[in-house]
């Protein structure tokens, strides 16, 4: 299919990072894009730059989410929003566990529940779920984050069963380390935390960027209509998932 087969898209977490890059890519192809995020101010900045239609909604509020997408005909759904936390299940808080389940998993299920029936009725659609290598490989990290991303992996596979016989494609994008704000937010979200995260996780590394993820989604959507790219792992060349090693290079 080409982008001319689609008219509309909805992107969660569209106010920053990968979501903003994906939104820009989709609007560039002429789609009407609805950007969904909680931060109305940052969402407006992306909307002003791209022409996206902002929907300032808290993904954890299912009633508000339902009202926001009610009546929308969405051809391309990009479940991009996600949250994480430092540590593992031994020192996890109730709040961080609930946040990851609500944003990373529950919102994905509800948006599919709300928007996929319209795709089935129109016999046309593409669901793109952003998971993580944390959902496929075991390494030290927050157990709840791994669990929610593993669930997104299974949801992506199951949606193909749910829509069998219809011209609906489902693509799971499974990234390694991407240059986003996620590590800085985990460290507190202050300017100092953002700088510490940059120096610790990105400086000297050849990480993939938000634009790389957007380009990968662009590639999946542009595949011929009889081709479904189900799972795409996107990692930096110097990062391997087994053991989660990432080599710093200075050359």
Q: How far apart are CA 101 and CA 84, in angstroms?
A: 10
Q: Of 34, 145, 202, 205, which residue is the catalytic one?
A: 145
Fold annotation for 3-238: Rossmann fold (3.40.50)
Q: What is the pLDDT of residue 193?
A: 73
Q: What is the pLDDT of residue 44?
A: 96
202 is catalytic: no
- From first to last of its 251 residues, the chain has per-residue pLDDT tens of 578 899 999 999 999 999 999 999 999 999 999 999 999 999 999 999 999 999 999 999 999 999 999 999 999 999 999 998 877 899 899 999 999 999 999 999 999 999 999 999 999 999 999 999 999 998 887 899 999 999 999 999 999 999 999 999 999 999 998 887 777 677 677 887 778 777 777 788 888 999 999 999 999 999 999 999 999 999 999 988 876 778 787 77
Q: What is the pLDDT of residue 76?
A: 98
Residue 54 sits at φ, ψ, to 5 deg, of -80, 140
Q: Rounded to two decimals, what is the model's pTM?
A: 0.92
Nearest to 170 by CA among 185, 182, 159: 159
Q: What is the pLDDT of residue 180?
A: 77
Distances (CA, A) of 232 to 23, 111, 216, 235: 19, 21, 8, 10
Half-sphere exposure of 213 (CA within 13 A, CB side): 31
In three-state form (DSSP H/G/I as H, E/B as E, the rest C), the secondary structure along the chain is: CCHHHCCEEEEECCCCHHHHHHHHHHHHCCCEEEEEECCHHHHHHHHHHHCCEEEECCCCCHHHHHHHHCCCCCCEEEECCCCCCCCCCCCCCHHHHHHHHHHHHHHHHHHHHHHHHHHHHHCCEEEEEECCHHHCCCCCCCHHHHHHHHHHHHHHHHHHHHCCCCCEEEEEEEECCECCCHHHHHCCCCHHHHHHHHHHHHCCCCCECHHHHHHHHHHHHHCCCCCCCCEEEECCCCEECCCCEECCCCC
Nearest to 25 by CA among 221, 251, 244: 221
Q: What is the pLDDT of residue 85?
A: 86
Bridge partners (DSSP) listed for residue 12: 36
Residue 63 sits at φ, ψ, to 5 deg, of -65, -45
């Amino acid at each position: 299919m080409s982008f001319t087969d689609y008219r509309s898209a909805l992107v969660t977490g569209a106010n920053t990072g990968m979501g903003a890059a994906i939104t820009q890519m989709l609007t560039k192809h002429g789609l009407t894009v609805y950007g969904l995020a909680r931060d109305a101010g940052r969402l407006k900045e992306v909307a002003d730059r791209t022409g996206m239609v902002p929907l300032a909604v808290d993904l954890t509020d299912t009633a508000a989410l339902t009202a926001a997408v009610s009546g929308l005909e969405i051809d391309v759904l990009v479940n991009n929003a996600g949250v994480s936390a430092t540590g593992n299940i031994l020192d996890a808080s109730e709040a961080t566990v609930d946040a990851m389940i609500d944003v990373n998993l529950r919102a994905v299920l509800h948006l599919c529940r709300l928007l996929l029936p319209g795709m089935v009725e129109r016999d046309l659609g593409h669901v793109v779920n952003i998971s993580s290598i944390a959902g496929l490989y075991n390494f030290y990290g927050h157990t709840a984050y791994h669990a929610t991303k593993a669930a997104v992996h299974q949801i992506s596979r199951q949606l193909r069963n749910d829509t069998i016989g219809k011209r609906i494609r489902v693509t799971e994008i499974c990234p390694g380390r991407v240059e986003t704000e996620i590590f800085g937010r985990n460290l507190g979200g202050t300017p100092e935390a953002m700088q510490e995260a940059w120096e610790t996780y990105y400086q000297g590394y050849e990480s993939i960027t938000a634009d790389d993820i957007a380009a990968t989604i662009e590639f999946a959507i542009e595949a011929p209509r009889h081709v479904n790219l189900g799972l795409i792992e996107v990692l930096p060349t110097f990062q391997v998932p087994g053991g989660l090693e990432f080599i710093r290079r200075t050359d």
